A and B are shown apart, each in its own frame.
Chain A
Amino acid sequence: MLLAFGNFTADPSVNLQLLIGGLALGAIYAVVALGFVLVYKSTDVLNLAHGEFLMLGAYFALTFLISENLNFFLGVFVLLLVMLVFGLLVHYGIMRRMVGQGFFAIVLITLGIATIIRALLLIFYGPTERARLDLLPQGSFEIGGATVRHVDIIIFAVVAACVLLFFLFFKYTRLGLHMRAVADDIEAAAAMGIDPDKVYAMTWAAAMVMAGVGGLLFGHVTGAIDRSIEAIGLRAFPAAVVGGLTSLGGSIVGGLVVGVIEQFANGHLGTKWREPVAFSVMFVVLLVRPTGLWGRKDLERV
């Protein structure tokens, strides 16, 4: 059956290459999915603008690291700082007024934010595509006939470090505890003296910083930096859902699983099958376990 679709091959080196490509793609998905998870975990908002946040990060990386030619670490620091400010802006300017609104209204307002960011980036950077970033090591090495790029390993390491960092943050810091409390029950948390407003602001700032990291990393592996890189936000949905929208570690597992499946579909069935296959996987996971593999189950009261 599968043979009828395309160039199915059992050649091990091709499959190994696909596996490695899938893991690399999965690492990027994990970066994006982590952004979704951070926001959804503590504010219950599905942030459809995360792809645009990422695009913002990639363009700022262009500005600070290429155009301004700052030192790499200084440039990354400035980038993340700017993204943090933008995150606070998103919260205090917009999302703060939307607390308590209906679910779909909040989804739509993130779409509005996405539209604004896209328009502003087009105005300030123009539609011409830029070469991808080349600040991280560009080399590659071979394992069993398959090429592994250094960038992919760095991306994977950074994602794992970020997940670990956030895990420790949620578990051991006071602010992390506050975030978990607000996510659990905002009213009870407020009654205990936690300021949900501040917690939400921190969440958005963290998500923006994560998008900055993601943009910087994705800027190294994408074909070129232009307005189409926002699509990564949509394509990472299956990864976030498969892992569970409230699970930090789940975003890594989900990212890798979906990335590998997508890459195999790409290699064996053709490029057009990538998104349908990824979303079908997500669909099956949703039907079997609606909250993903490690998601928090919500009780519903009548």
Chain B
Amino acid sequence: MTAVENPTPQQESNTYRPSPAQRFAPFVTAAVVPFILGATTGDMNFWWKALITVVVLAVVARLAWKWTPRGELTHREDMRLWRTPSDRSWAAATTFGLLVLPFILASDFTPPMDFPWATWFAVVNLVLIFAMGAAAFNLLVGYSGQISLAHVAFLALGSIVGGIVGVQWSGGNMWLALPAAAVAGAVVGAISGLPALRLKHLYLLLATFGFHFVMMLVWREYLQEYFGFVGIRFKGENSPRIASWLHWLPGIDPDQNGEFVITGQFRWYWVLMPITVLSILFMVNVVRTREGRAFAAVRDRDVSASLLGINVARSKLFAFALSSAIVSMSGVLASFYIGSRGEDSFNVQTVLNYAIIIVVGGFSSIQGAIFGSAFFWFLPEWFKWAREELWFVRDIDFLSDYPSEIDLAIKGFLVVIILMFKPDGLAGLWRDFKNWLGRSLARNKP
């Protein structure tokens, strides 16, 4: 750590410490510039926006790279979330990208070859919701090793809590429903995790699957009792709103009747993006704490973990509660975003979809959940576009005759191929790409 332990003087000169202002400057730039762009360039051409975005992305990433502490790190610096220059520059660039994305997506733009720009905003919002749910699923199944198929049960729980607290009690108050769903999800999740104390692997999978069917019964009973077969309406008069005492916030200008209703893709993005990013950051940080390391220890060998002084039962239940709380919250968000939930909204196929997402994205990696859900939702869009517009695909009648079936087949084949040849999925590919980039950019080639 200090020069006393390390007698060679040139090591000392290898250590670089940016000032705090320098350290945070890239992130501040990344956070501020999009809003200046968005506020001042309403009538600007799409291509200008894209160009400015790319330039600022590069600048922000470069600054973050330049002003990262390097050389000999203190323990605290070594334990940071974004440790290396590359981590920091990707983080800054992602921050900028997430903030500028809605302005680009909302711009009036006709892409070449009718690329499906207009539908992308909806897909991006769905990706955000699914990424949150899939990351929590991955935390439980991949990272903590507690195999659970009760995922959709908690989405349904989120819809039930959203229905009771958000619709029946308060007529569209999503802000009340979200914490309520988190609490309910944590409690019910811990209860559903009880079999994990006795069962493992296969048998745990089957037990949680039983919980799925019990929850589906509760969901149907609740629906029939209060809403009948039409299902719950989360839109219209039940849409979430921004409370009137928050209307002074920048960017919020109320409608004629003095309300600010969250509707339309642009407004939803600003609700979903922060919640998703915060919950994913939360999970990434949990993994780095003592509790999170205990999850991994219990996954690898629970008997050894208990010998190390880890309370295995507590750790397992905590993993279940945490994951279920976040999944329930994503269930509330999905209900309010999609706008209605009926009897057929939840089925076994939805569990399989989440499984596909985490396999394609990368098993036991939270990053993989994001890649996976993006891939899951963009694949049908790309495929649809290719079927309609690409000249060498358009003429194959077979593809346009069975669009959704081929979509399904592609997903199935992908799962099989990825599990056979690239078990760490898209997240693994991304890691390989970064390694390759690092190697080719390095001054002294290893």
Residues of A within 8 A of B (CB): 46, 94, 97-98, 101, 103-105, 107-109, 111-120, 122-123, 231, 234, 237-238, 241, 245, 272-273, 275-276, 278-280, 282-283, 286-287, 290, 302
Contact = CB atoms under 8 A, between A and B. Distances in A.
Nearest to B303: A302
Contacts of B356: 111-112, 115
A286 B348 CA distance: 21
A204 B144 CA distance: 31
A54 B405 CA distance: 19
Contacts of A119: 405-406, 408-409, 412
A118 B414 CA distance: 14
B402 A112 contact: no
Interface of B: 141, 147, 195, 198-199, 201-203, 205-207, 209-210, 213-214, 216-217, 220-221, 301, 303-304, 348, 352, 355-356, 359, 363, 402, 405-406, 408-409, 411-416, 419-420, 423
Contact of A279 (B202, B209, B301, B423): B209
Contact of B199 (A104, A107, A275, A290): A290
A116 B410 CA distance: 8
B409 A97 contact: no
22 contacts: A46-B202, A97-B420, A98-B420, A104-B147, A107-B147, A107-B205, A108-B419, A109-B415, A109-B416, A111-B415, A112-B419, A119-B412, A234-B348, A238-B210, A276-B214, A276-B216, A278-B213, A279-B214, A280-B214, A286-B206, A287-B199, A290-B199
Given A46-B202, A104-B147, A116 B210 contact: no
Which secondary structure dominates where chain A touches chain B? helix
Contacts of A97: 420
Nearest to A44: B202
B419 A98 contact: yes
Contacts of B352: 111, 114-115
A302 B304 CA distance: 8
B209 A115 contact: no
B423 A101 contact: yes
B406 A302 contact: no
A98 B209 CA distance: 24
Contact of A123 (B199, B304, B406, B415): B406
A73 B301 CA distance: 52
B220 A272 contact: yes
A51 B323 CA distance: 29
A122 B419 CA distance: 24
A116 B409 contact: yes
B416 A94 contact: yes
Scoring B141, B147, B206, B406 by chain A CB atoms within 10 A of each residue's CB, the highest score goes to B206
Given A287-B195, A302-B303, A112 B416 contact: yes
A286 B408 contact: no
Nearest to B302: A302
A103 B202 contact: yes
Contacts of A273: 217
A282 B419 contact: no
Contacts of B213: 275-276, 278-279
Contacts, number: 122
Given A112-B359, A276-B210, 11 more contacts: A46-B205, A98-B420, A103-B202, A109-B420, A115-B408, A119-B409, A273-B217, A282-B207, A287-B199, A302-B301, A302-B304
B1 to A, nearest CB: 37
Nearest to A112: B415
A108 B419 CA distance: 8
Most buried by A among B205, B405, B411: B405
A104 B423 contact: no
B412 A115 contact: yes
A113 B359 CA distance: 13
A53 to B, nearest CB: 14
Contact of B411 (A104, A115, A234, A287): A115
A105 B423 contact: yes
B402 A122 contact: yes
Contacts of A113: 412, 416
A108 B359 contact: yes
Given A98-B419, A276-B217, A122 B355 contact: no
Contacts of A101: 419, 423
A114 B348 CA distance: 13
A290 B363 contact: no
A94 B411 contact: no
A283 B420 contact: no
A241 B412 CA distance: 27
Given A98-B419, A109-B415, A112-B415, A122 B408 contact: yes
Given A105-B419, A108-B359, A112-B419, A287 B198 contact: yes
Contact of B409 (A98, A123, A241): A123
Contacts of B217: 272-273, 275-276
Contacts of A286: 195, 199, 203, 206-207
Contacts of A278: 213
A71 to B, nearest CB: 33
Contact of B203 (A109, A115, A290, A302): A290
Contacts of A272: 217, 220-221
A107 B198 CA distance: 20
B415 A290 contact: no
Contacts of B414: 112
Contacts of A302: 301, 303-304
The interface centre, meaning the residue of A118, A119, A273 with most chain B CB atoms within 10 A of its CB, is A119
Contacts of B202: 46, 103, 107, 245
A108 B415 contact: yes
Contacts of A111: 352, 355-356, 415
Contacts of B210: 238, 276, 279-280, 282-283
Contacts of B207: 282-283, 286
A291 to B, nearest CB: 8
Q: 9 closest Cβ contacts across the A-B interface?
A: A115-B412, A279-B210, A112-B415, A119-B409, A116-B412, A119-B408, A112-B416, A275-B213, A122-B405
A298 B408 CA distance: 37
B397 to A, nearest CB: 13
A279 B211 CA distance: 8
A290 B198 contact: yes
B201 to A, nearest CB: 5
Contacts of A105: 363, 419, 423
Nearest to A280: B210
Nearest to B224: A272
